[in-house]
Structure formats: structure tokens, C-alpha cells
Amino acid sequence: MDPIPAASYARISEKVAARDKVADQHAQNESHAAARGYRIVARYTDDGISALGHKERPDFERMLADAEAGAFAVIVATEEERLARNVEEKLELHTACEVAGVVWDTARDGYVDPATDSGEFMSTVRAAMGRIESKRKARRQRDASDERAADGLPTARPGYGYRREGSRDVIVEAEAVVIREAARRVLDGNSLRGIATDFNARGIPSPRTAELVHKAHREKTEYPTPIPWQGITLRQLIRRPSLAGLRTHRGKVVGNFDPKAHPAILNEDVHTRLEALLTDPSRAQGTGGRTPVHLLSGLAVCGRCGGRIKRLPGWTPKPGQKSKPVKAAYACGDCHKVRRIQEPVDQFVTEVILRRLEQPDAGQLFSQGDEGAAQEARNAIEVIDARLATAADQFAEGVLTGDQLRRITERLRADRTAHERTVSESMPARVPVNVVGPQARQTWAALHIDSQRAIIDTLAEVVIDPQGSGKPFDPDLIRIVWRA
């Protein structure tokens, strides 16, 4: 007598013991099938998918379709809970198997013929009991999670910047350095997209890449293709309260972590400032479009028709071609009557903006809060910078000892940070504090083009007026219309 054709089904949830691996389940199914006189003709695997709830299980659905097509007569599994712990899915299994005349046979629960009343009754009862037990388990897990949150203990996953050692989270310093740099640069006015672009250029692994690399190292598999940083990734990362040692539970901050179990990477003040800045409605939100790479493209307007100025790329002829090279230019995309070589326009607009930013009253251009307090803070910062320079000179001359210089510097820098916070709160979210005053040029040079464009757009409208072709650059035809 020929063996009865059978299907082997294996499934594991996201968190299971090593003994429950799908390969082990298929091996147990083979042994059970051989003892019963079955021959496995097909294998179906849903790896990392729970049978509770209504998650899609591709191979489970494929198996039911094959059963209705008559591909086999028996479904073999280690236990009925591998097939379904959900009453609705158990009824779906019953219907498909009853129509096709297929039964299932599990090593733990035995043989079930869905065509019989007793088979359907016992299977449905087991499904209902499994559902009840799952709910009890979920309730126990929630209670345990509540207790861990109340005690300030670590969450299930430590996240980027940490690794789990026993029951403690330990800082991964290489990742913490990246987090601190990102936080500092955002508070200095750099755009999220610009920082992400810089991280990618420097080859810094993104959180997702780091996670996949750790997994590959743990499982001794090939390293994955790097997943690049994105502005939204960076935004989500640096807003995490856990980085400041704050314990969240069910989406809300409920207290502080036990610092021995989960040390902070950022201090609470930095976290508070980041949260305020990144949730500020006036902050420009990313459009998901291509990153701007030219200073005035789409920003400047045509002085003839009011249309937006776009950038036309340059062109260099190949060797042997008689055509002349063409320089990159700004041109009106509407009337096509205004065109200007890009480089001198960028240089002129940048110089005008920087000269304005260097003026003593430049801070008032961006004032949003108490300008009196902000100006007092700027004055205090200038005094502190002068005192820091004096202290450095006195140390070089031997007037101050190293210990005296350290104490003076720590105190003055702490005062400077407090004054910087006051200035920052009076500035728009897109504008870095040090872009006004003596440090304007140095700060501007270090900014991503996103931030440079944001500052220009905040301060003025750039209007490019018509000029006859072939004439030299005329700065009078580039109008900077300052905003009120």
C-alpha cells in the first residue's frame, strides 16, 4: 500500500526557544509521518509569525489552497497551536480541509477529521482554550511590563546607542558619539537632511544598518547592504526620551530609568531643547523631494514676471567639438526672458547676507520672544568670550595654573550655555544662534545648503532683474528685498 501523501507545516512566533526552530519542527513532522505511514510531499513554513490575531500567514494560506486542490490528504504539525490558536482561523482550516477531505495529525494532539462532529468539537475547544491562554499570557506580560516601568528597568530592546548585557543597558560609545553630534548640530541650526547626508558621506552606519550588522555577526551570516540615513530616521532617533534617561511606558514618560540599569547619553536639558525645536510648528518640514543643491534655485524670483528662478546646468564640449562651453546659470522658468550666470549671483547674494548678519543689530532680524532678554544674553556671551580669551592668555603667561584655568573655564562655559539657550529660544527653529555677529561667516561656511537657503528665505526675497545678453555682471540688477 502506497504511503498517504502529507504536508508538513511549521511556524514560530517572533520570540521562541531554540528548540522550536522551524527546521526542528519539520524534522519532528517527518518522524511522526513515517510512524503513521505518511509521505511528506510538501513543506510550508511561516517563520516569525504569530498564529494569534489576524496576521497574514502566506504559507498557511498557500497550504489551504493546495489542500483544496487535492495536493495531499493529511496535514502534519507538531501541535494544533502551530496551525492556529485563533478560533476564526481554526474554522477556516476546518472548512478548507472538510471540502477537500483532508485531515490533520499532530504529534501532541493526535488525529483530527474535520468531517466528523467529534473532530470539529475537540479542535474548536482546543482553539478556544488556546485563545484564552494567550490572553492570560498577554495580561501577565502587561503586568510585568508595568512593574518594570515603575522600577525604572530597561525596555525589551535597548535601541541604537546601547547594547544589552544581562539585565543592564550599556552605552555603545561609537553610536553615542553619533547621537551627541547629531543633537548638537540640530541645536546649532543644521537641517536634519543635511546631517543625514553628511553621515552617509562619512560612511557612518545608520541605526538599521547597525542592527542588521549586529544580527549578521551574531548569526555568522553575510553583512547586509548598508541602509542610508534619512532625515526622518535622524529625527526619530534624537527625540527618543530614553537617550536622556527618561522611562516611557505606553507612549508616555513615566519617570526616570535606574541609571545603573540604563545610563543617559544626552542630558535632560538637551532633550527638552530638541523636543521643543523639532516640534515647533514654524520649523520647515521636509517635503520628501530631492535635496536642494543650489543656493537660489526655486528661491529667487524673476524681476520681469515674478516666476520662480530655476538653475540650468552648464555644458563642457568634448575634445574635438567646436561648440563653446556654457556656464551654469539661473533662469526664469516662466517667461524665459531672464538669465544670469550662477556663480557671481551666488557670491553676491551670500556676501550681502553675511554683511547684514555681521551687523550689531542682526539678532533683532530673527527675534521671536523677549528681545531685551535675548540682547542681554548676547552681550553676556561677548563678555564671557573675552574673559575666556584672557584666561587662556594668563595661563600661557604663567599667571594661572592649569587647575585654576580649568575651574574658570568650566564656570564660564556653563554660564555661556545658559545664555545661548536664552538666545536660541528667541530665534526661529531654522536659524542657528551663532549665525549672527562676529562668527557669522564661520558658522555660515559650516552650514548645509538647506540651512543657508532657510536663512536667506527668512531674511529677504532675492529678485533677479532682466539684463541684456553679453553684458558684464551688474550687481544692481540683483535686488535683495529685506522682509519686514
Same domain, 352 and 371: no
Kindly state whether residue 285 falls inside one of the protein's structural domains: no
Write out pLDDT tens, residues 90-130: 777 877 788 888 888 988 878 877 667 666 666 667 666 66
Contact by Cβ (8 Å): 354, 301 = no
Residue count (the chain): 484
Same domain, 138 and 42: yes
Same domain, 190 and 272: yes
How far out from the chain centre does Cα 13 lie?
Answer: 26
Kindly state whether residue 287 falls inside one of the protein's structural domains: no
CATH code, 230? 3.90.1750
pLDDT of residue 232: 87
DSSP H stretches of helix in 37-110 = 58-68, 80-83, 87-100
Same domain, 357 and 371: no
Q: Per mean pLDDT, which of 272-286, 371-385, 464-478 is the most reliable?
A: 464-478
Same domain, 381 and 457: no
Kindly state whether residue 265 falls inside one of the protein's structural domains: yes
pLDDT of residue 30: 93
Name every residue whose Cβ is closer than 8 Å to that of residue 103 and which is 6 or more positions away in sequence. 73, 74, 75, 97, 111, 112, 113, 114, 115, 119
Enclosing domain of residue 120: 4-142
Of 426, 446, 461, the domain-final residue: 426
Which helix (H) or strand (E) segment is 239 a member of?
Answer: none
pLDDT of residue 60: 87
Write out pLDDT tens, residues 160-194: 999 888 878 899 999 999 999 999 888 877 788 88
Same domain, 100 and 231: no
Same domain, 371 and 482: no
Contact by Cβ (8 Å): 65, 58 = no
Whether 292 has a pLDDT exceeding 70, the answer reads no
Kindly state whether residue 106 falls inside one of the protein's structural domains: yes
Write out pLDDT tens, residues 264-285: 999 887 888 788 778 765 555 4
Same domain, 207 and 60: no
Same domain, 169 and 223: yes
Kindly state whether residue 402 falls inside one of the protein's structural domains: yes
| Domain count along the chain | 4
Write out pLDDT tens, residues 343-357: 999 999 999 999 999
d(CA 409, CA 391): 8
Kindly state whether residue 301 falls inside one of the protein's structural domains: yes
Same domain, 296 and 443: yes
Same domain, 87 and 129: yes
Same domain, 136 and 64: yes
d(CA 311, CA 156): 50
Contact by Cβ (8 Å): 29, 76 = yes
> Which residues on neighbouring strands pair with residue 308, listed in sequence order?
301
Kindly state whether residue 149 falls inside one of the protein's structural domains: no
Kindly state whether residue 482 falls inside one of the protein's structural domains: yes
Cα dihedral angle (164, 170, 175, 178), rounded to 10 degrees?
Answer: 140
d(CA 458, CA 130): 61
pLDDT of residue 17: 43
d(CA 435, CA 417): 16
